Amino acid sequence: MSRRENILKAVHFESPDCIPMSFHISGACWNHYPHDALFELKESHQFLFPGFTRPEGEFAIDYSPWQRTGTPYTDPWSCVWETAEDGITGAVTTHPLASWDDFDGYQSPDPEKVIGWAPADWKQVAGKIERAREQGGLTQGGLRHGHTFLTLSYIRGYENLIFDMMDEEPRLWKLIEMVENFNSGIVTRYMDLGVEYMGYAEDLGMQVGPMLSPAHFRKYIKPTYERLMAPAREAGCIVHMHSDGDIRDLVDDLIDGGVQAINLQDLANGIDWIQAHLAGKVCIDLDIDRQRITRFGTPGEIDALIREEVEKLGSKEGGLMMIHGMYPGVPLENVRALMDAMEKYATYYS
């Protein structure tokens, strides 16, 4: 069974061969760990990094402009970004609509010319999707991370946005419409290209609780989500949603709005809670801990964590995928233990 087929079967509860596992090494890691050590980890874990071969010559990463230190980056919405760590997306330091006085002259980017962070090359995107299709790979599209709620917060500033919702600021609806129309243009183009997996990544949770009240989510954000996800659902395309943080108060609304596979953090939401509320009902794309056990635990505790999650959330029928994003600070022995555990328990139900 190909990787594409395995993922589709996992999402649709159609008995995949194994639990789809993904391991992402962030760009910042290459500044903090010996390159040979990271290459060796990838070479020795071919299940997670199929076909990986060590590059020849000097290895360097060309970071995206919004992940480079030293020079602020202005995105297509006129939000100014700065980061303190190469390879990590930083924070908005200048909000273009910090004052509503500037709203009349404010304009949305053109989805024909822009995809998320950078200028669009839809011909190149189409070619990449077609190559994936020809090679039997999963054809994917996606909105920029933070496509709706977070984009509004980047434009207005988080506190301003929350006060706008509380105050029922009428201009907020116009700004939401502007953001939605841009995102809708992106979704439409991906649907026209025939993708089968569409990502809607947006962090909605804090360490405890969501970043906005459930009532405000339902009033201001959920209707936009539903309209943005509807074309994918109608096309038979998988709707995948990612959110960091504690989103327990919003999960039912997300699923009700059309999400079929949800990427949420394990310990922030609680393994037992996820089991009770989501297991068997929606495909869980589990985001493996980055704050506690993988960072400060022992290799044995890491193995136990992955086994517990597979036992409680997985089944032979499917409905579970797992992913880990590696960032600086995790001991390499823990990284190896996590990779080992992900490979070992991927076939737990086979």
Is the confidence at residue 333, as pLDDT, over 90? yes
Amino acid at position 341, single letter? A
Q: For residues 312, 318, 320 and 324, what is the CA-based torsion angle, rounded to 10 degrees?
A: 120
Closest CA relative to residue 139, chosen from 200, 202, 193: 193
pLDDT tens digits along 224-280: 999 999 999 999 999 999 999 999 999 999 999 889 999 999 999 999 999 999 999
At 3 the pLDDT is: 93
Q: Give the right CATH number for 3-54+110-147+156-345 from 3.20.20.210, 3.30.465.10, 3.10.20.90, 3.40.50.300.
A: 3.20.20.210
Q: How distant, in Å, are the alpha carbons of 44, 60, 308, 342 from that of 40?
A: 6, 17, 27, 17
Residue 200 near residue 151, CB atoms below 8 Å: no
pLDDT tens digits along 133-170: 999 999 999 999 999 999 999 999 999 999 999 999 99
How many other C-beta atoms are found inside a 10 Å radius of the C-beta of residue 316? 11
Residue 288 near residue 323, CB atoms below 8 Å: yes
pLDDT tens digits along 82-101: 999 999 999 999 999 999 99
Closest CA relative to residue 287, chosen from 23, 3, 17, 16: 23
Tokens representing 125? 């995107």
**pTM score, whole prediction:** 0.95
Classify strands 73-74 and 80-82 as parallel, antiparallel or unpaired.
antiparallel
Amino acid at position 204, single letter? L
- Model confidence at 322, pLDDT cuts 50, 70, 90, reads very high
